[in-house]
A and B are shown apart, each in its own frame.
Chain A
């Protein structure tokens, strides 16, 4: 049996979802879990840990844990808390050592990080105090269009002539979208306009840090093909997306947990 000290756990308590990753000392993921953070971060953390136990069939006691994300202080039993900026840098660097710039778009938060040679961030920017340029923006727009959020991105790719959505403010864009529906624009064109507006907002945030290639995209919104298409177009670069983009922060935290132990 592998010794407990050869494992590390990272818990990323985001504003929308909580992610947990168990890795071994080689960095291999042994278990992972994701669920909605909901009203109680503490409960969602516990649920994640229970899942890690059940998937790995390991006793987790004694394993170093590091928490990250906005709710990181809620996991008061962990060895320490590290910001999601550092954890995402470490996480993406372990997945692809070439990446120079990371764009992470989560549920209510988006960030752009310049990655240093060891994965440590050298500069970063976060979104303003509003939901413009975050997953929440897309969720609200999907509701207005009465389309499941999972289908919004692929719908946008079917557009023939994207609608012009000038606002990235969730509240104002909602009115604009209703206006476009009233004007008879197709759902695909409106969906494309929404993604274009969102990509423009993220591109502006990225320019503040400076877009050095290659660029990776992570977070839940990285799963959206419409967003990836318009962001790549806006930044005029290819975007690299890991297989499980939502777990990057938790993976970084788990890697730091192994380092801490060593």
Chain B
């Protein structure tokens, strides 16, 4: 091998970095600090990603997200270590790796990133995303002493019948009582409506940013969206989320105006399905960016795009959170993905089969077949996990995606 003797200009990267990523970092750092303070002041709740967070926010509590913490664990590449701590307690390797890494971090915070999430005063789970959350939070409850409240949203097919709505609403009324008693604060409906307005404003900015990806070239790639969704998950219902998404949407609009894509040379536009492999998120998407592959849409980050309608607060919230499409069955998810492929003019799709997340990954073989039949574009299933890198084989994933590209190009 010959050594380079001349000074060459640095090679341009295949992707463009968002300048608002600095603001994102600052926003999320402040949020993490606020969770620590809230824990010390006895006002921290842990919530699941599909939980109606507007309610605990209206009770002046701060919400921390174990799933988001799982993403940090994955990105820090310590998933196998933390999952191992939970496995030592007897939890199965088949259990969700967000649950395992969360339980592992509660057991050994000193060996966990950010020394784990601060200890909560309440654990708030909503099973609209999966049923595992209840068992997971109960396990954490045993370890921390924090009580669990479950908002039960039975799965829906088609429209929501009145008895379903009434049942979920009664669960939210129970939540109000639970929050009032646990945090010694009366319920204020007007305040909840104000929080819902703040939530809607942030959701609208986020949705507009996602929809800007219909442009060619797409201003955002998959990793951009997966990282930038942190405030819409963790800070929904707060001014901080609005401040961030105003800046973020500003940058997205600027990219569209200037015709700047998330990647330098856009050749193939694909849909992504499922949570990403956090431990290799940059490597995965940037390697494909070098081949001209961009992902203008995905099924996951579009999940936070519903507005809470003005009206009776609890009823509106019950409607929105029952209809999260993971709670609506496979056909709703397939419809959603087919629409994304058409609306964003995508050439193919990648379904990531996540070993841990059965709820999200269930039915992907049928999904693949139906999407291709309906849209005419090819797709591929790759296997792995979001946190547990032991479940992921890079060479196998690469061969599958490369073969898909050879079918498209």
Query: Which chain A residues border B400 with CB–CB below 8 Å?
Result: 126
Closest to B384 in A: A129
The answer to whether B396 and A126 touch across the interface, beta carbons within 8 angstroms, is: yes
The answer to whether A123 and B372 touch across the interface, beta carbons within 8 angstroms, is: yes
Interface size bucket, A side? 10 to 19
Closest to A85 in B: B403
The answer to whether A208 and B406 touch across the interface, beta carbons within 8 angstroms, is: no
Contact flags A63-91 to B (C-beta < 8 A → 1, else 0): 00000001000000000001111100000
- Residue B383 contacts which of A70, A120, A122, A128 (CB distance < 8 angstroms)? A128
How far apart are the CA atoms of A128 and B355 in the complex, in Å? 12
A124 located at the interface, meaning its Cβ lies under 8 Å from any Cβ of chain B in the complex: yes
Query: Which chain A residues border B380 with CB–CB below 8 Å?
Result: 124
A10 located at the interface, meaning its Cβ lies under 8 Å from any Cβ of chain B in the complex: no
A128-B383, A129-B383 given; A208·B365 CB < 8 A: yes
Instruction: Count contacts on B: residues with CB < 8 A to the other chain.
Output: 14
Contact flags A133-160 to B (C-beta < 8 A → 1, else 0): 0000000000000000000000000000
B115 located at the interface, meaning its Cβ lies under 8 Å from any Cβ of chain A in the complex: no
Contact flags A101-141 to B (C-beta < 8 A → 1, else 0): 00000000000000000001111101011000000000000
Query: Which chain A residues border B403 with CB–CB below 8 Å?
Result: 83, 85-86, 121, 124
B402 located at the interface, meaning its Cβ lies under 8 Å from any Cβ of chain A in the complex: yes
Nearest-neighbour CB distance to chain B for A247, whole angstroms, equals 19
Query: Which chain A residues border B383 with CB–CB below 8 Å?
Result: 128-129
B227 located at the interface, meaning its Cβ lies under 8 Å from any Cβ of chain A in the complex: no
How far apart are the CA atoms of A124 and B383 in the complex, in Å? 15
Closest to A128 in B: B383
Nearest-neighbour CB distance to chain B for A157, whole angstroms, equals 33
Nearest-neighbour CB distance to chain A for B167, whole angstroms, equals 38
Closest to A113 in B: B403
The answer to whether A86 and B393 touch across the interface, beta carbons within 8 angstroms, is: no
Chain A to chain B: the 4 pairs with minimum beta-carbon distance, closest first = A85-B403, A83-B403, A86-B406, A83-B402
Known: A83-B403, A86-B406, A122-B407. 5 other contacts (CB 8 A): A121-B403, A124-B380, A124-B403, A126-B400, A129-B396
What would 15 A/B residue contacts be, using CB atoms closer than 8 Å?
Answer: A83-B406, A85-B399, A86-B403, A86-B406, A120-B406, A120-B407, A121-B407, A122-B378, A123-B378, A124-B403, A126-B399, A126-B400, A128-B383, A129-B393, A208-B365
Q: Which residues of B does A touch, CB under 8 Å?
A: 365, 372, 378, 380, 383, 393, 395-396, 399-400, 402-403, 406-407
